[in-house]
Structure 1
């Protein structure tokens, strides 16, 4: 046994009941403790297993950020972990409060809604510009006929425009507009006017460059609940994950109020397979505060009586490719940001991107695009792909 292997092995106690329990579980997922394959877990400190058993992914993620364990291919580690359904076999008692809090409290009310903008989206436009495509599109690309991130994001934007059946002169509301990639693309290629809502000051500041250009786009720094105008079309790409189950119906009420009777509304959102599961505690604490993924039933329940669902499209597997492309860009750009953000941020961001890629690859997470109308499209809606 070489010195490196001896060092990692020293942090695994084979005589411990909890350690043996976890080792047996990991073997079922084809993950070896202190193994040599790139998806195997290797320990750098004591307490990783006990922390994970007590606090689930919150403990596992914090241990990783602290440098207490390694897996070269984190995405493959999580793919195997999730496909073997191991998280379902562990019930961390210390996370009961988190689960109750996410179910009982409205953590996405108008006051709390701004927290994710300040903590996540306001990290810095330069940082996101280095990680994302040239349009700064921070949502899943459409890889059906794409070979690069740039192509996949343009294909996604065009897909949305075609699903909405955009025509020159239409006014479009973008709920959660990000850095305006959809608005800029739709205005330039389909001749529409766009109004975008964001709760990120950095995004709104970036949007001034688009507002001062020849494109008919407007950024509004406001909560979606405060919008009252009516539009020909509404789009919401990657924002519904911040709405929360206690606000789903209100969100749909706002969309219904702001959409003209003959309009179309496209909702693009990450989703989960099981309604009753709580939000991931590590992601909630370190990446997207107050975030919550909907199940499909949440969306259809909230839309009932307000919209006719014309189309549903799932291309969740494409988020795996998108996240891996973002990770490659992040790694390549990291030397420029290392002094500003530091090693803990690097490990946190790597854990975020690669664990999410593994979850989409395992098909634990989905990506849905819904197309809604208010009264039903006469003659039927024409499916676009």
Structure 2
């Protein structure tokens, strides 16, 4: 692993004594014990505290975000953040911690409830903040096609094979044939567009809200019947035999779900198929995770099962619902290992504002989200309500 010891860590190579505790420290000790996590313990998932004052600040200013920011600043550490966070999530400790960040969470809730943070005027923000930070990072972290979504590991031994299997499964679920027109909503760096055109003979239109993604996707798809456009999905016109959306629905926002599905229905041919690949959760969440919102995916929102069903009814017919959430744990761990191995070559460009520790916390805590089964990964296939086709699901 890269040497990333911060100044605060160097000043405190061993955690302080835990013989006397403040009320905040005692609360965290008792809460962590419920998930079999020891404060200043020696197991890989135990937490080593270097600056105990952050515990009080976390309780007074919003525990989930303050906890993450304290890690970024080197105030605590853990050998296996993924294992620690899996225990936290499985024991539902984050729900109790959130009670101490009432003002912060109320603000997030009201923002999500009142403001449409994914309206057309705001839609390009996530592209600028997250996807445009540099293609060199994603080249090193992802597979050769730069697929930034959950892979399918059923018959794969490594990330490259698992992403190939995912792309091929999508094309087979869509019953894609040569000459068909395919719309890829949120095409990323063009990996699926290139795959569908090269291996299935499709004519692909890919759309993205990231200038960097558009530029590289056009390079990847050069010489193929693929057009990559920088445009919001709501501005699209025309009709397509097949539509696919992989890892983009998390940026749509619940206020826009009906518009999203209405747009897909309008663009989809009468006998067409639409495949939606998205992270999901069984319970509706008001607001978003403060750390992810602030540092990773601004204006993001995890879709819940009920809202997907409710907002697509009457517009699209459900044909198949496939959940392989645990595969995202394995995908994120593969990304983390690639990122960590490449860090010596990346750090001169990105090591500003604790970037390494921020990215590590992001990837490993997200792996825990799926390992704990709090998070799901769904591939949902739809047809038009009046279609007479007989769809056969596959895995």
TM range (shorter): over 0.9
* Displacement over 6 Å in runs of 4+: none
Cα distance change on mapping 1:67 and 1:261 into 2, 3 Å: same
Structure 1: stretches of 5+ with no match in the other structure:
none
TM-score (norm 1): 0.96
Instruction: Report the counterpart of residue 73 of structure 1 in structure 2.
Output: 80
Distance 2:279 2:13 in 1: 42
Q: CA deviation at 1:5?
A: 9.3
Residue 192 in structure 1 maps to residue 199 in structure 2: no
Q: Which of 104, 108, 113 matches 2:114?
A: 104
Q: Which of 182, 185, 189 matches 1:175?
A: 185
Instruction: Report the counterpart of residue 84 of structure 1 in structure 2.
Output: 91
| Residue pair 1:317, 1:363 contacting (<8 A) in 2 also | yes
Q: Which of 35, 42, 48 matches 2:41?
A: 35
Residue 154 in structure 1 maps to residue 161 in structure 2: no
Q: Which of 51, 64, 67 matches 1:45?
A: 51
Instruction: Report the counterpart of residue 127 of structure 1 in structure 2.
Output: 137
| Residue pair 1:13, 1:19 contacting (<8 A) in 2 also | no
Aligned ranges 1:300-379 → 2 under 5 Å: 300-342=309-351, 344-375=354-385, 378=388
The alignment of Structure 1 onto Structure 2 pairs a total of residues equal to 381
Cα distance change on mapping 1:22 and 1:46 into 2, 3 Å: closer
| Residue pair 1:5, 1:34 contacting (<8 A) in 2 also | no
Cα distance change on mapping 1:195 and 1:48 into 2, 3 Å: same
| Residue pair 2:174, 2:274 contacting (<8 A) in 1 also | yes
| Residue pair 2:111, 2:287 contacting (<8 A) in 1 also | no
Aligned ranges 1:49-64 → 2 under 5 Å: 49-54=55-60, 55-64=62-71
Distance 2:191 2:174 in 1: 16
Instruction: Report the counterpart of residue 8 of structure 2 in structure 1.
Output: none
Per-residue CA shift, 1:62-91, capped at 9, x if unaligned? 111111110110000100001111112221
Per-residue CA shift, 1:262-303, capped at 9, x if unaligned? 000000000122113431010000000000011011111110
Q: CA deviation at 1:13?
A: 7.3
Instruction: Report the counterpart of residue 293 of structure 1 in structure 2.
Output: 302
Instruction: Report the counterpart of residue 21 of structure 2 in structure 1.
Output: 15
Cα distance change on mapping 1:171 and 1:6 into 2, 3 Å: closer
Cα distance change on mapping 1:376 and 1:64 into 2, 3 Å: farther
Cα distance change on mapping 1:84 and 1:14 into 2, 3 Å: farther
Distance 2:161 2:385 in 1: 35
User: Alpha carbon RMSD of aligned pairs, Å?
Assistant: 1.7
Structure 2: stretches of 5+ with no match in the other structure:
1-10
Distance 2:84 2:326 in 1: 17
Per-residue CA shift, 1:28-72, capped at 9, x if unaligned? 101000111111111121322223323122111111111111011
Aligned ranges 1:275-294 → 2 under 5 Å: 275-294=284-303
| Residue pair 2:191, 2:220 contacting (<8 A) in 1 also | no
| Residue pair 1:262, 1:375 contacting (<8 A) in 2 also | no
Q: CA deviation at 1:100?
A: 1.5
Distance 1:154 1:6 in 2: 44
| Residue pair 2:112, 2:286 contacting (<8 A) in 1 also | no
After TM superposition, the structure 1 stretch with the greater mean CA deviation from structure 2, 310-319 or 37-46, is 37-46
Q: CA deviation at 1:187?
A: 0.7
Aligned ranges 1:159-238 → 2 under 5 Å: 159-211=169-221, 213-238=222-247
Distance 2:389 2:123 in 1: 39
After TM superposition, the structure 1 stretch with the greater mean CA deviation from structure 2, 19-28 or 90-99, is 90-99
Q: CA deviation at 1:98?
A: 1.6
Q: CA deviation at 1:7?
A: 3.8
